[in-house]
């Protein structure tokens, strides 16, 4: 019956649809401005940022994200920020911009600086626009601010509680200088911040144009319709899954993170699908840890959302309305919803991957034809830096093999999709020289369909530098499915200029001298199905391409040229 | 001898247009593309025009096939190639930028690398970022590779790190291969695309290298067939940059030809807007399955410097990583899935959606009566009275009952009546198309209020006025023959060569003398190319440009260079402010590339023209048409060919011709200018 009511309202459904699209375009356009004007390779080349339009109370309306970890963490972050401002009695004027990187508010980690701006029409607040971007360095013990053995949030870098970085239209240069004094790359910080603010201004302009056209009141009404639309979409999909495809049920899975002590930290997910809702419960997961592997709630929401959306309906629209149907419960004080002052730097780069793995594994029981074997399960964060420079990158790997076909070689998987920074750009801007950037033979898990190959990336530093490697899947390999073998684990090491070799394990910070070379080998994806059933043509192709060796083919794929030929016809 | 012919090979049809400069006659026809041997369809189409080929001065050839089809359907097999890279970097081509084209698709595929891993070989030797040699090239290894692969490989492609700074290793490797394997085609990255970013440069070189022998053979065949039929004129090849090149130059950058057809529409807009003295124009081309938008400023179409051959487009934007990157100027087109055949549907959230699926040419819209049952944009237009019962001079008869039946299914589910639904379909499709227009205008920093919009393609003139209001352009211009307007672009295209050289320095570290040297080298090269194509010195026009950015940014803005670096830096600050809303004076500015655009003018066809004399024409009849603002109105219908320059028509009105229908909504006003174009403005 509320459908009837809608009819009486001043905004008709078609106008709502028009406005809904306009908001999606506006957030994309904000992202283009941010990318094109940013200074650090991390944003401009790798696109580690996202932009959004929200209701005055901080409910997400539309978002343009380039990497899934921003999806889901943005709505949590924006909502937290609005609540914080209310609690502190801070009012945002029409020409104010607020900035924060407090992970317990913004919903990711210190490197993600989040800015938010109100959009007023006259004296009426009609919307908020916000964006987040990963700054290459925010201070702390190690260049790049991720890893490095931090036990407390404070050790990871500079915490910026919500501050008005623009007040009455004026950039607060004193605050900019304060932050610049606490980071290793002050020029990048300012360039990227300016880009973030420029993107907000553009978003504001687009929302105002909509208000001019349809009226502020009509917009506010459209917001609730837009949220209602996503809610209906999600509900209808759910009803279809349960009634048509019989997917109701409880599905559980678990997997582990590798702590620096050698201990494993469990993540457990229980996914319950009913006609009315999907509930994902992380009860049973490890308690929070004193190393930067804790995932703040925003990250847990992001990873859960990613897995659900990818399996159930990749085209599902995404805004606050989705969370009226999907409930995500993560007990406080656990590794998937820590309390301050736990360090969280690796939460959205590593723990998020494992959360996605666990939910995908649980869904594999409900949707056997829609879930691949495990992808490599790590973003392999590498940070190099010296006195006044820092360079950060994440390195691709293999995706899990799929029910239809092989995994993809050398690519970013699940929660990230950042681009690499071109070697020619890195070498021009930083004192490093690359030795290799290649696929890693034999690293894909064997199966009827082979897991994707990991990557070998190696570089020599030309002056003294600190390198931090922060990765996963060193001890536990990416799992295969339905008889497929696990992918090869990661293997990182340093070869000193004098030839000495030092193993780095999964997580390590090490000071390098000129001429030392770092070798990064990322994991392959898990295999799918019985390796002995792999099509001989595919094996021959892999052999020809050097993606597997003959030895590996014999050992893992029951391959002997003679028997295969004789059994063929 | 004043006839010229344009031919565009598409995936399904080959479009041929002919123009006779003396009589002003324009002929246009379509024949089926002959996938295995595309030249056959081309020749067939040209012969069908019925002109003696010795009376034809110029033939311009374009392609809208798209790479995938080019490889698959056209049945061309890529030549066997070997790619030489630095040792340790042979997978740069396969890893690409390490991203996947879609975020939430667990079953995504990346395009297969154009040179398989087994034929990508790492060679010892290394140039550093400053151009110094860090390790000498292993010449013996190159020699061994050349010998080993000489018999099997037709093409050798060389791409080494930092070759844009110091090409000596690539140059030497090329020499060695040519010595060891005479006759092989050897393509280097420093000659193809001398600028940083190893993946993009390698990919550009590979795509061009692979297509080189294919295109050379193909063009040779076409020209031979034409000559045999008496053709003695010039054979020109359309480029994605919106220019044409002679056949020799065209084979230097074959990638520029493969998707050159879509540029023609923008070129036509450029030509007409220049003739009419319109500084800022948007092109809006709506056909059966897609709508394309382009921007023309001061008679020059806007170009981007990179695109992906064979890439997929989503909501007007290219999905990065879905195709093969090529750095070559490409007319900036936004393409959205909205054409006459685009289908309306209801999504799981209960919202009415239009596209991206299209009923295409077969079965087509429901009202065509060829078996289509899904409601399309054309069905919506028809039900609203905007189309007459017969299209294309009576060749297509529309069936009202079928259109209504198709719409009724959806209307019932949404609780709307048919008319309300049809009008909603038009509104939503206009939103989708407005996005395309915004992508090429607002997102490029232009204010649509300063623009005139050229509407063409079969369905363009029907939607243009509403779109103009939606995005706020000044006026709509419907050119004569909107149905073949795009093809006309082939006949008004100039020679064009784009050349560039990497600078990669801070602006305050570059001297004007240094730039002068680079520019004069580039200009000499371009002038030679044009002269060898038969262009007279006096018809050559060269523009100098600089790619600039703030030191630290990754995306350049292109500004004109007039011999003064300080002036160019100032122009950059201004452009940055106009585009992004701020500048950072005081921050160092980097000069990345010096580029030139060299244009060789080609004589243009003369179009009919006469002085406008204001008058009010008589409508042929009236018809009831639905408009959102007014509901059903008795609307006068005019026959376009009867309208003379100076005709003035107040909306609501419909102006029909065989190939296209223009809509003048209530509150709009139409007039015919001296070129027989319709101008539609808000009153």
The string of pLDDT tens digits covering residues B408-441 is: 999 999 999 999 999 999 999 998 898 888 888 8
Per DSSP bridges, beta strands B668-672 and B678-682 are: antiparallel
In the three-class reduction of DSSP (H, G, I as helix; E, B as strand; rest coil), residue B200 is classed as helix
User: How many other C-beta atoms lie within 10 A of the C-beta of residue B681?
Assistant: 18
What is the pLDDT confidence band of residue A7, given thresholds at 50, 70 and 90?
Answer: very low
Closest CA to A441 of A300, A301, A348, A552: A552
- Measure Cα distances from A436 to A67, A520, A521, B126 in Å: 26, 10, 11, 12
pLDDT, residue B75, reads: 54
- CA A416 to CA A134: how far, in whole Å? 12
Read off the pLDDT of each residue in A405-420 and give the average, rounded to a whole number: 94
Average model confidence (pLDDT) across chain A: 92
pLDDT, residue B360, reads: 73
A357 touches chain B (CB under 8 A): no
- Cβ-based neighbours of B71, under 8 Å, separated by 6 or more: B78
- CA B330 to CA A338: how far, in whole Å? 50
- Measure Cα distances from A293 to A110, A394, A437 in Å: 13, 16, 28
Could you say which of B107, B350, B554 has the minimum Cβ distance to residue A232? Answer: B350
- Cα-Cα-Cα-Cα torsion B526, B527, B528, B531, nearest 10 degrees, comes to 130
Domain B3-73+231-258 shares a fold with domain B266-323+449-488? yes
Count how many pairs of residues, chain A against chain B, have C-beta atoms within 8 Å.
Answer: 202
Strand spans (E) along A90-141: 97-100, 112-121, 124-134
**More confident of the two residues A408 and B361:** A408
Residues in A touching B547 (Cβ below 8 Å): none
CA nearest B581 in A: which residue? A198
Q: State the pTM of this model.
A: 0.89
Closest CA to A425 of A41, A72, A146: A41
pLDDT over threshold 80, residue A564: no
Q: Where exactly are the structural domains of chain B?
A: 3-73+231-258, 81-214, 266-323+449-488, 495-600, 621-682
Min Cα separation B429/chain A (Å): 10
**More confident of the two residues A565 and A230:** A230
pLDDT digits (tens, 9 = 90+) for A332-365: 999 999 999 999 999 989 999 999 999 999 999 9
Q: Is A425's CB within 8 Å of B443's CB?
A: no
Q: Are B49 and B26 in contact (CB under 8 A)?
A: no
Residues in A touching B163 (Cβ below 8 Å): none
Chain A contact probe: residue of B85, B95, B344, B548 with most A CBs at under 10 A? B95
CB contact burial B363-399 (16+ within 10 A = b; e otherwise) = ebbbbbbeebebbbbbbbbbbbbbbeeebeeeebebb
pLDDT, residue B305, reads: 85
Q: Helix B565-580 vs helix A13-37: angle between axes, to the nearest 10 degrees?
A: 150
Chain A contact probe: residue of B130, B306, B317, B349 with most A CBs at under 10 A? B349
Q: Is B99's CB within 8 Å of A419's CB?
A: yes
CATH classification of B495-600 is 3.30.1490, yes or no? yes
Strand order in the sheet with A432-439: A432-439, A455-461, A517-521, A491-495, A501-503
For residue B29, the number of C-alpha atoms closer than 13 Å in the C-beta half-sphere is 15
What is the pLDDT confidence band of residue B73, given thresholds at 50, 70 and 90?
Answer: very low
Q: Is A428's CB within 8 Å of B504's CB?
A: yes
User: Quick one: fold of B3-73+231-258?
Assistant: Nucleotidyltransferase; domain 5 (3.30.420)
Geometric angle at alpha carbon B551, from B547 and B552, rounded to 5°? 110
- CA A200 to CA B94: how far, in whole Å? 36
Q: Name residues 439-478 of chain B within 8 A of A (Cβ).
A: 442-443
What is the pLDDT confidence band of residue A159, given thresholds at 50, 70 and 90?
Answer: very high
- CA B287 to CA A436: how far, in whole Å? 48
**Least confident interval from A276-280, A474-478, B597-601:** B597-601
Question: Cis ω on the peptide bond leading into residue B650 (within 30° of 0)?
Answer: no
pLDDT digits (tens, 9 = 90+) for A42-85: 787 677 888 999 999 999 999 887 788 887 788 899 999 999 99
What is the value of ipTM here, to two decimals? 0.92
Residues in B touching A405 (Cβ below 8 Å): 107, 109
What is the pLDDT confidence band of residue B316, given thresholds at 50, 70 and 90?
Answer: low
pLDDT over threshold 60, residue B205: yes
**Least confident interval from A489-498, B246-255, B417-426:** B246-255
A391 touches chain B (CB under 8 A): no
CA nearest A543 in B: which residue? B118
B511: burial class by Cβ within 10 Å (0-12, 13-18, 19+)? exposed
**Least confident interval from A29-38, A559-568, B55-64, B285-294:** A559-568
pLDDT, residue B322, reads: 80
- CA A432 to CA B251: how far, in whole Å? 38
Instruction: Using a pLDDT cut of 70, give the percent of chain B over it.
Output: 97
B428 touches chain A (CB under 8 A): yes
pLDDT, residue A384, reads: 93
- CA A359 to CA A300: how far, in whole Å? 11
Q: Name residues 581-600 of chain B within 8 A of A (Cβ).
A: 581-582, 584, 587
- CA A359 to CA A273: how far, in whole Å? 13
Closest CA to B304 of B353, B343, B259: B259
Q: Name residues 307-346 of chain A within 8 A of B (Cβ).
A: 309-311, 313-314, 317
pLDDT digits (tens, 9 = 90+) for B50-70: 999 999 989 999 987 665 555
Q: Are A105 and A162 in contact (CB under 8 A)?
A: yes
pLDDT digits (tens, 9 = 90+) for A114-146: 999 999 999 999 999 999 999 989 999 888 888
- Cβ-based neighbours of A246, under 8 Å, separated by 6 or more: none
Structure tokens at A375: 């992808």
pLDDT, residue B520, reads: 96
What is the pLDDT confidence band of residue B357, given thresholds at 50, 70 and 90?
Answer: confident
pLDDT, residue B70, reads: 53
pLDDT, residue B289, reads: 81
User: Quick one: fold of B266-323+449-488?
Assistant: Nucleotidyltransferase; domain 5 (3.30.420)
């Amino acid at each position: 019956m509320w459908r009837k009511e809608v009819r009486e309202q001043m905004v008709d459904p078609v106008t709502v649809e028009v406005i809904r699209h306009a908001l999606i375009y506006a957030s994309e356009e904000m992202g283009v401005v941010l990318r094109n004007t940013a200074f650090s390779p991390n944003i401009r080349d790798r696109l580690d940022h996202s932009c959004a339009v929200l209701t005055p109370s901080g409910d997400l309306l539309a978002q343009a994200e380039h990497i899934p970890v921003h999806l889901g963490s943005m709505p949590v972050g924006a909502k937290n920020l609005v609540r914080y401002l209310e609690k502190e009695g801070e009012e945002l004027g029409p020409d104010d911009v607020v900035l924060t990187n407090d992970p317990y508010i913004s919903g990711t980690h210190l490197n993600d600086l989040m800015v938010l701006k109100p959009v007023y029409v006259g004296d009426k607040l009609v919307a908020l626009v916000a964006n987040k971007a990963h700054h290459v360095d925010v201070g702390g013990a190690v260049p790049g601010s991720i890893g490095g053995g931090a036990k407390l949030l404070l050790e990871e870098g500079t915490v910026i509680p919500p501050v008005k970085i623009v007040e009455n239209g004026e950039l607060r240069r004193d605050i900019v200088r304060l932050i610049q004094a606490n980071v290793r790359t002050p020029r990048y910080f300012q360039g990227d911040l300016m880009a973030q603010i420029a993107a907000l201004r553009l978003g504001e302009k687009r929302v105002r144009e909509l208000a001019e056209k349809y009226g502020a009141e009509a917009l506010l009404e459209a917001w609730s319709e837009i949220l209602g639309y996503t809610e209906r979409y999600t509900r209808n999909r759910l009803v279809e899954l349960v009634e048509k495809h019989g997917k109701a049920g409880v599905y559980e899975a678990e997997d582990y993170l590798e702590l620096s002590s050698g201990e494993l930290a469990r993540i457990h997910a229980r996914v319950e699908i009913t006609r009315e809702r999907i509930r994902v419960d992380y009860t049973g997961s490890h308690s929070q840890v004193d190393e930067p592997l804790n995932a703040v709630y925003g990250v847990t929401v992001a990873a859960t959302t990613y897995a659900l959306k990818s399996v159930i309906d990749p085209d599902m629209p995404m805004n606050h309305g989705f969370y009226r149907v999907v409930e995500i419960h993560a007990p406080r004080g656990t590794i998937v919803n820590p309390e301050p002052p736990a360090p969280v730097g690796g939460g959205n780069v590593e723990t998020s991957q494992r959360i996605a793995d666990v939910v995908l594994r649980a869904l594999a029981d409900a949707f056997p034809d829609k879930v691949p074997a495990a992808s490599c399960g790590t973003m392999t964060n590498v940070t190099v830096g010296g006195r006044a420079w820092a360079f950060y990158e994440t390195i691709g790997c293999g995706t899990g093999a799929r029910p239809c076909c092989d995994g993809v070689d050398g690519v970013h998987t699940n929660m990230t999709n950042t681009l690499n920074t071109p070697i020619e750009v890195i070498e021009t801007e930083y004192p490093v020289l690359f030795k290799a950037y290649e696929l890693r033979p034999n690293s894909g898990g064997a199966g009827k369909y082979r897991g994707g190959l990991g990557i070998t990336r190696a570089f020599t530093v030309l002056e003294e530098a600190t390198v931090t490697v922060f990765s996963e899947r060193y001890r536990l390999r990416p799992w295969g499915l339905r008889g497929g073998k696990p992918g090869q684990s990661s293997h990182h090491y340093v070869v000193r200029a004098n030839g000495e070799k030092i193993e780095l394990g999964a997580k390590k910070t090490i000071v390098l001298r000129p001429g030392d070379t770092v070798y990064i080998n990322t994991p392959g994806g898990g295999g799918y199905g019985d390796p002995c059933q792999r099509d001989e043509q595919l094996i021959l192709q892999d052999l020809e391409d050097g993606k597997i060796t003959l030895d590996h083919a014999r050992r893992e794929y029951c391959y002997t040229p003679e028997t295969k030929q004789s059994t063929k016809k | 001898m004043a006839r010229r012919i344009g031919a565009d090979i598409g995936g399904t049809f080959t479009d041929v247009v002919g123009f006779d400069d003396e009589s002003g006659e324009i002929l246009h026809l379509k024949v089926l593309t002959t996938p295995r041997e595309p030249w056959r369809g081309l020749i067939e189409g040209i012969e069908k025009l019925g002109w003696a080929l010795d009376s034809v001065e110029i033939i311009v050839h374009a392609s809208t096939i798209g790479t995938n089809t080019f490889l698959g359907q056209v049945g061309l097999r890529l030549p066997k190639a070997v790619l030489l890279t630095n040792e340790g970097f042979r997978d740069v081509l396969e890893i690409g930028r390490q991203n996947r084209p879609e975020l939430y698709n667990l079953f995504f595929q990346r395009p297969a690398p154009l040179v398989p891993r087994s034929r990508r070989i790492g060679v010892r030797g290394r140039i550093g970022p400053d151009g110094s040699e860090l390790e000498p090239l292993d010449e013996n290894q190159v020699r061994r590779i050349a010998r080993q692969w000489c018999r099997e490989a037709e093409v050798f492609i060389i791409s080494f790190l930092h070759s844009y700074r110091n090409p000596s290793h690539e140059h030497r490797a090329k020499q060695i291969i040519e010595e060891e394997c005479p006759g092989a085609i050897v393509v280097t990255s420093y000659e193809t695309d001398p600028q940083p970013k190893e993946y993009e440069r390698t990919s550009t070189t590979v795509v061009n290298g692979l297509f080189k022998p294919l295109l050379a053979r193909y063009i040779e065949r076409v020209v031979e067939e034409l000559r045999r039929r008496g053709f003695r004129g010039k054979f020109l090849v359309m480029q994605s940059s919106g220019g044409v090149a002679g056949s020799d130059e065209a084979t230097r950058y074959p990638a520029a030809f493969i998707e050159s057809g879509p540029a023609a529409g923008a070129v036509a807009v450029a030509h007409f807007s220049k003739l009419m003295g319109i500084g800022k124009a948007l092109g809006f081309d709506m056909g059966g399955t897609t709508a394309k938008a382009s921007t023309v400023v001061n008679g020059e179409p806007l170009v981007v410097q990179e695109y992906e051959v064979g890439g997929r487009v989503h909501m007007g934007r290219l999905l990065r990583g879905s195709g093969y990157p090529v750095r070559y100027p490409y007319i900036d087109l936004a393409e959205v899935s909205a054409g006459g055949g685009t289908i309306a549907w209801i999504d799981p959230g209960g919202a009415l959606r239009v596209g991206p699926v299209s009923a295409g040419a077969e079965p087509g819209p429901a009202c065509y009566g060829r078996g289509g049952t899904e409601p399309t944009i054309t069905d919506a237009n028809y039900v609203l009275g905007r189309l007459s019962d017969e299209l294309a001079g009576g060749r297509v008869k529309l069936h009202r009952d079928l259109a209504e039946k198709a719409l009724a299914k959806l209307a019932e589910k949404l609780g709307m009546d048919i008319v309300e639904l049809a009008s909603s379909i038009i509104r939503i499709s206009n939103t989708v198309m407005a996005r395309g227009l915004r992508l090429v205008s607002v997102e490029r920093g232009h204010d649509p209020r300063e623009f005139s919009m050229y509407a063409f393609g079969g369905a363009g003139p029907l939607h243009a006025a509403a779109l103009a209001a939606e995005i706020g352009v000044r006026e709509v211009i419907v050119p004569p023959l909107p149905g073949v307007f795009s093809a006309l672009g082939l006949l008004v295209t100039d020679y064009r060569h784009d050349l560039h050289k990497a600078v990669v320095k801070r602006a305050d570290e570059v001297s004007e003398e240094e730039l002068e040297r680079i520019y004069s080298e580039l200009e000499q090269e371009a002038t030679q190319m044009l002269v060898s194509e038969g262009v007279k010195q006096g018809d050559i026009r060269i523009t100098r440009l600089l790619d600039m950015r703030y030191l630290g940014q990754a995306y350049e803005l292109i500004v004109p260079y007039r011999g003064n670096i300080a002036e160019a830096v100032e122009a950059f600050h201004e452009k940055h402010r106009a585009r992004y809303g701020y500048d950072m004076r005081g921050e160092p500015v980097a000069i990345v590339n010096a580029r030139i655009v060299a244009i060789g003018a080609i004589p243009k066809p003369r179009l009919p023209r006469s002085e406008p004399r204001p008058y009010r024409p008589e409508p042929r009849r009236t018809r009831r048409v639905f408009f959102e603002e007014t509901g059903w109105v008795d609307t006068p219908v005019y026959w376009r060919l009867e309208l003379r320059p100076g005709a003035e028509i107040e909306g609501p009105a419909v102006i029909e011709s065989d190939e296209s229908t223009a809509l003048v909504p209530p509150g709009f006003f139409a007039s015919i200018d001296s070129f027989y174009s319709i101008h539609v403005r808000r009153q």
